[in-house]
Amino acid sequence: IENPKSIIVIFGATGDLAKRKLFPSIYRLYKNGSISKNFAVIGVARSPLSNEDFRANVTKSVQSAGSTNEVEEFSSHFYYQPFDVTSSSSYQALKQLMGTLDGDYNTDGNRIFYLAMAPEFFGTIASNLKAEGLTETSGWKRLVIEKPFGRDLPSAQKLNSELREAFDESEIYRIDHYLGKEMVQNIEVIRFSNAIFEPLWNNRYISNIQITSSETLGVEDRGRYYESSGALRDMVQNHMLQMVALLAMEPPIKLNPREIRSEKVKVLRALRPFSQDEVDDYFVRGQYSAGLMDEKEVKGYREEKSVDPDSNTETFVAGKLLIDNFRWAGVPFYIRTGKRMAAKSTKIIVQFKDIPMNLYYNRGEKVEPNLLVIHIQPEEGITLHLNVKKSGKDISTTPIKLAYSSSSIDGINTPEAYERLIYDCMRGDMTNFTHWDEVALSWSFIDQISQAWESTKAYDFPNYESGSMGPKKADELLQNEGTHWWPVQ
């Protein structure tokens, strides 16, 4: 296949995401030959930078991601255009520059507009791109959009209809960077390419599934954004529900975006809704207090920069999701995520049901259930927990682990999520981007919870110490059902 050619316009080119993720990812694609030399990047943002300043920023960002080879040559593909998102002349200047670079780099009129900036401008930019004629091109055009995609269903619908004025659904690439992670992509492969899992992957053999995504960082300098978001919108609406959908979906009839997305949509449609009064039976919210992390004293959430000293914003969420369909009826999916927790770790633990009759004991205790652990990060791999005979005279069992770690294979350097996603977008593969139907269904599920939480103040905030695994109530959520969170550390 021919390598993709395109002009990539990055809105928000002086921002954090561009610097930390986008420039280094485009560099790696360039270095490993995944994109042809026929590409140019136009950075736009408010500040008045020259092309040279911008290229120096790009060079620095790539170097601080650890690369030095051919960086100058790479940076020469980058151009800068000072930009005011509301001014017609900005769009005209951009249009002209695109036209010139199209010729210089032979990009066949292909254009990616990458919105990596404050979400309040997403709609304005899309409609101006159309009004000013930037969406008319002889090649393809694609819009890549970062989160947050709205903050509830009505705002997401409004944003979506603004985007749809200028771009077709098949041209809108909504980023969920978890879908670019190696082991998130592996969920489907593990499920659908192994004869030993798929027959057991249902309510007859699975007792529950636990998904934990814990972080050690606090809100850092994102207080302003986070105050209007909270962990529910920041992590659950997108990343956590996407993982649930991949774990629970039916096998797609083909590996194409349409079929895969439609199976995911069915899972989201089957999520059991609840009333405002029932929210507490299913979901727990938390907020971190000061504490010790790595032997250093860290601040509580309410003491962080740009955070209300009386904030009601949750920095932790745990929940129980039920999927009302034939495969999953009665199997809880437990999720939890939070900031300032004991470890940075994303893991999925599939707990199988106990064997029907216990013939053996493990030091006098019941044998352990079988677990399949999918390690998303920082380690990447899978572990299967089994029971074997303990060596010696007694017939007693001992738990063992069969483990595969993809990060420990020599010479394999799994690409960063953004690297994959940018590449997929350039090739026009939408599989690992969220369809509007998924976004809409996720918001309608999340809205039931956020409405309840916003209308009643959390009386116990802050309720977990920095460096812990969250509030006690999150443990009780599972204890009440006779189970517990499996350790993720």
* Interface contacts to ligand BG6, rule CB under 6 A: 215, 234, 346
Is 181 assigned to a binding site?
A: yes
Q: Can you say how many angstroms the Cα of residue 209 is from the centroid of all Cα atoms in its chain?
A: 19
CA angle 207–209–212, rounded 5-degree value: 150
**Nearest distance, CB of residue 255 and ligand BG6, angstroms:** 24
Is 118 assigned to a binding site?
A: no
Q: Which residue is nearest to ligand BG6 (CB)?
A: 234
For residue 85, the tally of other CB atoms under 10 A from its CB is 18
Can you count the helices (H) and strands (E) in the chain?
Answer: 16, 19
Beta carbon nearer to ligand BG6, 102 or 234: 234
CA angle 331–334–336, rounded 5-degree value: 170
Is 59 assigned to a binding site?
A: no
**Parallel, antiparallel or unpaired: strands 345-352 and 361-362:** unpaired
Is 13 assigned to a binding site?
A: yes
**Nearest distance, CB of residue 313 and ligand BG6, angstroms:** 12
Cα dihedral 49, 53, 57, 59 sign:
positive
**Nearest distance, CB of residue 337 and ligand BG6, angstroms:** 9
**Nearest distance, CB of residue 239 and ligand BG6, angstroms:** 6
Beta carbon nearer to ligand BG6, 347 or 435: 347
Decide: 207 and 369 in contact? Cβ < 8 Å: yes
Closest CA to 321 of 273, 392, 383: 273
Is 46 assigned to a binding site?
A: yes
**Nearest distance, CB of residue 217 and ligand BG6, angstroms:** 6
Separation CA 362–CA 251 (nearest Å)? 36
Q: Which two tokens stand for residue 83?
A: 């930009």
Decide: 383 and 390 in contact? Cβ < 8 Å: no
Which spans in 219-314 are helix H?
A: 223-227, 230-231, 241-248, 257-270, 279-282
Is 52 assigned to a binding site?
A: no
**Nearest distance, CB of residue 232 and ligand BG6, angstroms:** 12
Cα dihedral 339, 341, 344, 348 sign:
negative
Is 12 assigned to a binding site?
A: yes
Q: Give the three-state DSSP class for 31.
A: helix
Is 239 catalytic? The answer is yes
Q: Which of 77, 239, 375, 385 is catalytic?
A: 239
Beta carbon nearer to ligand BG6, 288 or 328: 288
What are the binding residues for NADP(+)? 12-19, 46, 84-85, 147
Q: What are the residue numbers of the active site?
A: 239
